[in-house]
Amino acid sequence: MYNYDGRKILEAYGLNKKYIEELIFDIEQLRTTQNKIINKFGESNFIDYELKQKTELYFQVYEQIKIVETIINDLEQPSKNVLYYKYIKHLQNTNIALKMNYSEPRIYQLVNKALNEFNELYSNQQTSHIELAQDYSKL
């Protein structure tokens, strides 16, 4: 079994959400440029390649985002809310405690518990992907 750092994965989630917005903007710009080049010259090989690269990157980042969201949704309460408030909404533990009507020390405990649960689900999800890839490589 692999050892994953849920904090880093969840922090990367926030960065990936911002990054995917930039990728969408880039893809839209490339499509606009591609259409202009095709209308003027009939082909756009360089833009086609760049658009393909950006689109593939978009889907890779999107997959990582969906994995994190799925795992958080699979958690039981209060773990689900704690991780949502901390890593998706970026609230401080003090604000999470107020929102959830817990003491701040209890929020620290719940965050650690939720991270352990997240790590376990993430590890299981990654292990099943690895096993599936190994099965396909045998074909």
Contacts with 121 (C-beta within 8 Å, 6 or more apart), sequence order:
71, 74, 75
Distance of alpha carbon 32 from alpha carbon 21, whole angstroms: 17
The pLDDT profile of the chain, 139 residues, written as one tens digit per residue, is 345 688 899 989 989 999 999 999 999 999 999 988 888 888 778 788 999 999 999 999 999 999 999 999 999 999 999 999 999 899 999 999 999 999 999 999 999 999 999 999 998 887 655 444 444 445 4
Torsion of CA 13, 65, 68, 127, to 10 degrees: -110
Distance of alpha carbon 72 from alpha carbon 81, whole angstroms: 9
Q: What is the pTM of this model?
A: 0.74
Which CA distances in Å does 111 have to 34, 72, 124? Answer: 47, 12, 20
Residue-range domain boundaries for the chain: 6-137
